[in-house]
Structure 1
Amino acid sequence: MRGLRKVVTVVDEVLRDVGRPVPVPVRRVAVAAVVRNPWAGRGFVTDLQPEVEALAPELARLLTGRLIETLGGVERIEAFGKAAVVGLDGEIEHGGALIHTPYFGNVLRELTEGTSIIVFSDDRLPAGEPLTVPLWHKTAAATRSHYQTVQIRVPDAPRPDELVVIAGAASGPRPHARIGDRRTDPVVRLADLEKLENAR
């Protein structure tokens, strides 16, 4: 892949939480590709599309393939997310261009057999700063048990003229999830809360 310098994979496997065993151990994975920013040194580029079409699908295939391999199959992916870190000489829009278009998102979604919109984070940071990648359920975004995060840090990236593009996934929900679900929540309005507060 043009401009690819390295790929970093982080695996977080939760076996116990608050002293209690997790019923089913959950693996959270983030895979990061460190690539040269294709717009670096070119000033303000009005049309980002040619580079997006050339690079974003390749990144999506690479990162999603590593997620599937690390988790042991596409059926093991229950939650997903995406992120980008732009080096200090780039624009936030450069990271957004590579992860927020169908050339990345649709490929990641199709390869993971997901249907949900993919939750994301992005930032412009110096090399070595951590980024938290949010995750949620790949087919039912309202499933609150799968709202979680995985953190990744690449010690020598992004350099000022680089981007770090990340795909994340989890094999299950948060440990001991027990705060209900948006489909079964009661209707809560400000007026209802005021009644509760007045009754105390």
Structure 2
Amino acid sequence: MSPDNLGIRKIVFYSEEILSENGQAPAVTAVRATAAAVVANPWLGGKPSDDLSPEVMKLAPVLARKLTNVLAAELGGVDAIEAFGKAAIVGTAGEIEHGAALIHTPFFGNLVREFFEGESIICFADDRGDAGSNLVVPLWHKNAAATRTHYQTISTRVGDAPLPGEIVVVLGASTGPRPHSRIGDRLTDPAVKADTIGELIS
């Protein structure tokens, strides 16, 4: 099915390379990026009881393939991508559920994991807003979600989207960790409880 038939208006790529943090170069220079697809909302005018799945099954896999292809091509291939995340901004004429339908089902998430050779659940954000709305996309390690080094975010926006009848679907990725990450790992943390914390900090 062609992009015209699916209502995809455009795809926008954004990236940033972190060269310095607190005046010092990080041990690993990472590139964070987003690929965003602007698509017509196929559910406008519907009822809260409507089944969204027919359109999800047609559109979500196409978005997963297109956005992963863009990020892999721009970031040096699937092997270079270490962290990922997803997000959606729904235009003001739509429901938050419309964005959720495109990013929170296996027709998007499972395919993104497969295409990026990841295992982690994909962290996410969704919102409703006007054209040009900023969205903070959370990222974490694609194979080790408990690894705090890769907990990071990237902010993204599309200047002319979403229009009221559109949805912006965003996929984010990073080629490395946060600069100077040094707060440990969830898997090696001590057991911290309110009644024992005094023993840990005394």
How many equivalent pairs are there?
198
Q: Aligned equivalents of 1:86 and 1:56: distance in 2?
A: 15
Q: Aligned equivalents of 2:73 and 2:181: distance in 1?
A: 26
Q: Retained in 2: the 8 A contact 1:81–1:136?
A: yes
Q: What is the deviation of 1:118?
A: 0.3
Q: Is residue 2:83 matched to residue 1:112?
A: no
What is residue 132 of structure 1 aligned with on the other side? 136
Q: Aligned equivalents of 1:9 and 1:152: distance in 2?
A: 9
Q: Aligned equivalents of 2:79 and 2:114: distance in 1?
A: 13
Q: Retained in 1: the 8 A contact 2:28–2:177?
A: no
Root-mean-square deviation (CA), in Å?
1.2
| Larger proportion of strand | 1
Residue 142 of structure 2 aligns with an amino acid whose one-letter code is: K
What is residue 145 of structure 2 aligned with on the other side? 141
Q: Aligned equivalents of 1:196 and 1:163: distance in 2?
A: 48
Q: What is the deviation of 1:23?
A: 1.6
Q: Aligned equivalents of 1:56 and 1:45: distance in 2?
A: 20
Q: Deviations over 1:35-66 (max 9, x none)?
A: 00000133445100000000000000000000
- What does residue range 3-14 of structure 1 map to in structure 2 within 5 Å? 3-14=7-18
Q: Which of 169, 187, 192 is matched with 1:188 structurally?
A: 192
Percent identical? 58
Change (3 A) 1:63 1:45: farther
Residue 109 of structure 1 aligns with an amino acid whose one-letter code is: R
Q: Retained in 1: the 8 A contact 2:99–2:126?
A: yes
Q: Aligned equivalents of 1:14 and 1:137: distance in 2?
A: 17
Q: Is residue 2:163 matched to residue 1:159?
A: yes
User: Which shows bigger deviation, 184-193 or 172-181?
Assistant: 184-193
Q: Retained in 2: the 8 A contact 1:13–1:27?
A: yes
Q: Is residue 2:3 matched to residue 1:27?
A: no
Residue 121 of structure 2 aligns with an amino acid whose one-letter code is: I
Q: Aligned equivalents of 1:145 and 1:3: distance in 2?
A: 38
Secondary structure of 1:8 counterpart? strand
Q: Retained in 2: the 8 A contact 1:39–1:45?
A: no
- What does residue range 12-91 of structure 1 map to in structure 2 within 5 Å? 12-44=16-48, 46-91=50-95
Q: List structure 1 segments (4+ residues) > 4 angstroms apart after TM superposition.
A: 194-197
Secondary structure of 1:58 counterpart? helix
Q: What is the deviation of 1:90?
A: 0.3
Q: Deviations over 1:65-91 (max 9, x none)?
A: 001011011000000000000000000
Q: Aligned equivalents of 2:111 and 2:200: distance in 1?
A: 47
Q: Which of 80, 99, 103 is matched with 2:103 structurally?
A: 99
Q: Aligned equivalents of 1:194 and 1:38: distance in 2?
A: 55
Q: Aligned equivalents of 1:196 and 1:187: distance in 2?
A: 9
TM-score, length-normalised on structure 2?
0.95
Q: What is the deviation of 1:195?
A: 5.1
TM-score, length-normalised on structure 1?
0.96
Change (3 A) 1:98 1:122: same
